Chains A and B, each alone.
Chain A
Amino acid sequence: MRNRVIALYTALGLGYAFLYLPIVLLVIYSFNASRLVTVWGGFSTKWYGELAGDEKILNAAWLSLKVAVMNATLSTFLGTLAAVVLVRFRRFPGRTLFTGMITAPLVMPEIITGLAMLLLFVSMELTFGWPEGRSITTIVIAHVTFSLSFVTVIVQSRLAQMDISLEEAAMDLGARPAKVFLVITLPIIAPALLAGWLLSFTLSVDDVVISSFVTGPASTTLPIVIFSKVRLGVSPEVNALASIVVAIVSVGIVIFGIVTQRQERERQRSATAAAEDHAVEDHAAGHPRRGPARM
């Protein structure tokens, strides 16, 4: 029995180590005083200070954030429209083609999407002079093309699960179609919209391959800056930057966990309440004169 427990904990420890040891090492080395990455030279926070003064990295981080927010918002909007069309409009010419094409970017190799985007932007610039060079505009457009499909898939499945009679009931009670969408459909599929937004945000912040084709010298995203810095040898500054990103993500995950747990508890409480009422109602059903409301 004791051996079994030890074996289980060892397995658990190995699992955690496999997943998180690299990150822990990264964080530890971000506090290394030495310039050499592999040699421990004592504790220091100087790389964080240097990072704060590195305008190139800060600019790139700010740009990445802007791109991510714009991309997530735009993708969620367009992706939701596509999902609504696919689920609610049963028949229209070209429906099958649209269904296939909307998800194509999911399976398309990124390098091809990136190259295609670059070719498009260059030829567009040559023809009508827009977009001028590689800028935040081109990055956002490129990111939206692939994020959009993820949002569509998520929202589509949520919409398909939704009871269509909810929309019919709202219409029956006097709400026009546009209003039905805003006050009934949208709140019900909101969790899917949020999930789609967060996923697009993450995909955008993370993207290197497509971004490397559509970024210009004046507008470089954070992953590309890190990538190019690392090619000249890993600098402890990059470690510090990575640690900050890890910290932000961890805080986000912890908050998300707490919120879901609280919701789950709330849901269970209400389920219990309903079950209790149901028992009362069953009892009342035997005595037609006594309604459940009076008990």
Chain B
Amino acid sequence: MALPSAKPQVFAPWNDPEAKPLIRIEGVSKSFGDFHAVNKVDLDIYPGEFFSLLGASGCGKTTLLRMLAGFETPTEGRISIDGVDMTSIPPYERPINMMFQSYALFPHMTVAQNVAFGLKQDRVPKRLIGNKVREVLDLVQMSRFAERKPQQLSGGQRQRVALARCLAKEPKVLLLDEPLAALDKKLREQTQLELVNIQDRVGITFVMVTHDQEEAMTMSARIGVMNAGSIEQIGTPVEIYEYPTTTFVADFIGTANMFDGVVSLEEQNRTVVDCSELETQLTVGHASGVAVGAPVTVMVRPEKMTVQREKPDPRINCVHGVVSDIAYLGDISIYHVRLESGRKVQVALTNLRHTSEQRLTWDDEVYLTWHPANSLVLVQ
């Protein structure tokens, strides 16, 4: 799950205080009647970035995207692109193109006519339109189908045409609304990397909306995790997975084992949390930043725990339980361990050896331990 970012590590304009963002979203809200679809969002997106808005359906990510495209107007706040305020600029004058979830290919036009449509609106000379259409169709490997109608194409081909149609206009920003949701799994995985490669080649800033965390992690330089209209955390895939800042993000990205407790000792690079539920203390390898006695949550990822049958010594970060469920996934196995308190914890083990035997089986008594550096304190 924790795939490294597909971008080279050197690309990180968000860490550079000198870098000028391409898209600037400042305090943007959108309400439909009493419902706040988007709530005071602040976000900077940099030139050449592949940014994903990740969230469950109804979290406001699509509304935010539609505000960027100009189909919705913010109730509050300001969106600017390349320093130009977009508030009063209609969709047909924005330097932005959007790839729709349904692809929205015009059914009465051929592939070539679809791709040429945007250029025609800009009154580009005919000869140049022809060249550009050929160029982008080559880029997405669809030249062979230029004279077909959209209904004569398969889902994957339609997706490529929709992409080509957006790229033809060379927008400053390309918005993608769940671009791969309509494809089946194999094709989706292949297309993910292809999209990233194309983005790399054309250098256009991509903003993608998705509910699929694997997709977001594979493709994006940075991810904004959204929940109930607000952005919970913005970061690289690694940051979001390894260092979530809220319990929501920890739970939404991957699987997280979380234990509630109160801080009992706070040092420069160590926090000890009294966990009443586990009747033990948990040690975390960093400072929590809150006072002793404050309620916090300790988070540990399933693959960062070790499992053993013998009682470990010394007993730092050790919980005891019984294996209640096993999910064999081929590459890894996930063990559900029931603790004495009745609480279930998930542990993931990589199946390193070629064998039909499982190391653990149902009702085995096990001890779970983890290194303090592999856990995280989340302040509630």
Among the listed A165, A176, A270, which residue makes an inter-chain contact with B152, where contact means beta carbons less than 8 Å apart?
A270
* Chain A CB within 8 A of B14 CB: no
Report the minimum CB–CB distance from B187 to chain A (whole Å): 5
- The residue on B at minimum CB distance from A272 is B152
- The residue on B at minimum CB distance from A286 is B186
Q: When the two chains form their complex, are residues B106 and A172 in contact, meaning their CB atoms are under 8 A apart? A: no
Contacts of B153 in A (CB 8 A): 274, 277
* Chain A CB within 8 A of B355 CB: no
Say yes or no: A168-B71 contact (C-beta < 8 A), given A174-B169, A293-B141.
yes
Q: When the two chains form their complex, are residues A285 and B97 in contact, meaning their CB atoms are under 8 A apart? A: no
* Chain B CB within 8 A of A170 CB: yes
Q: How many angstroms between the C-alpha atoms of A281 and B156 in the bound complex?
A: 8
* Chain B CB within 8 A of A21 CB: no
Number of contacting residues on B, CB 8 A? 42
Contacts of A273 in B (CB 8 A): 152
Contacts of A291 in B (CB 8 A): 141
Report the minimum CB–CB distance from B259 to chain A (whole Å): 41
* Chain B CB within 8 A of A173 CB: yes
* Chain B CB within 8 A of A55 CB: no
A-contact bits for B94-114, CB 8 A (1 contact / 0 none): 001110111010111000000
* Chain A CB within 8 A of B201 CB: no
Q: When the two chains form their complex, are residues A281 and B157 in contact, meaning their CB atoms are under 8 A apart? A: yes
Q: When the two chains form their complex, are residues B154 and A278 in contact, meaning their CB atoms are under 8 A apart? A: yes
Residues facing B in A258-289 (CB within 8 A) are: 267, 270-271, 273-275, 277-278, 281-282, 285-286, 288
Contacts of B184 in A (CB 8 A): 282
Q: How many angstroms between the C-alpha atoms of A292 and B143 in the bound complex?
A: 11
Contacts of A267 in B (CB 8 A): 151
Q: When the two chains form their complex, are residues B169 and A173 in contact, meaning their CB atoms are under 8 A apart? A: yes
- The residue on B at minimum CB distance from A276 is B154
Q: When the two chains form their complex, are residues B190 and A288 in contact, meaning their CB atoms are under 8 A apart? A: yes
* Chain A CB within 8 A of B92 CB: yes
Q: When the two chains form their complex, are residues B190 and A188 in contact, meaning their CB atoms are under 8 A apart? A: no
Q: How many angstroms between the C-alpha atoms of A261 and B222 in the bound complex?
A: 53
Q: How many angstroms between the C-alpha atoms of A270 and B147 in the bound complex?
A: 12
* Chain A CB within 8 A of B149 CB: yes
Report the minimum CB–CB distance from A279 to chain B (whole Å): 9
* Chain A CB within 8 A of B291 CB: no
Contacts of B121 in A (CB 8 A): 173-175, 179
Q: How many angstroms between the C-alpha atoms of A273 and B118 in the bound complex?
A: 27
Say yes or no: A292-B152 contact (C-beta < 8 A), given A165-B102, A166-B106.
no
Q: How many angstroms between the C-alpha atoms of A187 and B113 in the bound complex?
A: 14
Q: How many angstroms between the C-alpha atoms of A281 and B142 in the bound complex?
A: 12
Q: When the two chains form their complex, are residues A174 and B122 in contact, meaning their CB atoms are under 8 A apart? A: yes
* Chain A CB within 8 A of B252 CB: no
Say yes or no: A285-B187 contact (C-beta < 8 A), given A174-B122, A175-B92, A292-B141.
yes
- The residue on A at minimum CB distance from B153 is A274
- The residue on B at minimum CB distance from A174 is B121
* Chain A CB within 8 A of B91 CB: yes
Contacts of B332 in A (CB 8 A): none
Residues facing B in A162-188 (CB within 8 A) are: 163, 165-166, 168-176, 179, 184, 187-188
* Chain B CB within 8 A of A4 CB: no
Q: How many angstroms between the C-alpha atoms of A288 and B154 in the bound complex?
A: 17
Q: When the two chains form their complex, are residues B97 and A274 in contact, meaning their CB atoms are under 8 A apart? A: no
Among the listed B118, B151, B155, which residue makes an inter-chain contact with A278, where contact means beta carbons less than 8 Å apart?
B155
Q: When the two chains form their complex, are residues A163 and B104 in contact, meaning their CB atoms are under 8 A apart? A: yes
Q: When the two chains form their complex, are residues A171 and B106 in contact, meaning their CB atoms are under 8 A apart? A: no
* Chain B CB within 8 A of A231 CB: no
Q: When the two chains form their complex, are residues A168 and B100 in contact, meaning their CB atoms are under 8 A apart? A: yes
26 A-B pairs with CB atoms under 8 Å apart are: A165-B100, A165-B102, A166-B104, A168-B104, A169-B98, A171-B90, A171-B91, A172-B70, A172-B92, A172-B96, A172-B97, A172-B98, A174-B92, A175-B121, A267-B151, A270-B151, A270-B152, A274-B151, A274-B153, A278-B154, A282-B186, A282-B187, A285-B156, A285-B190, A293-B144, A294-B141
Residues of A within 8 A of B (CB): 163, 165-166, 168-176, 179, 184, 187-188, 267, 270-271, 273-275, 277-278, 281-282, 285-286, 288, 291-294
Given A173-B92, A173-B117, 7 other A-B contacts at CB below 8 A? Answer: A166-B104, A168-B91, A169-B106, A174-B169, A281-B154, A281-B157, A285-B156
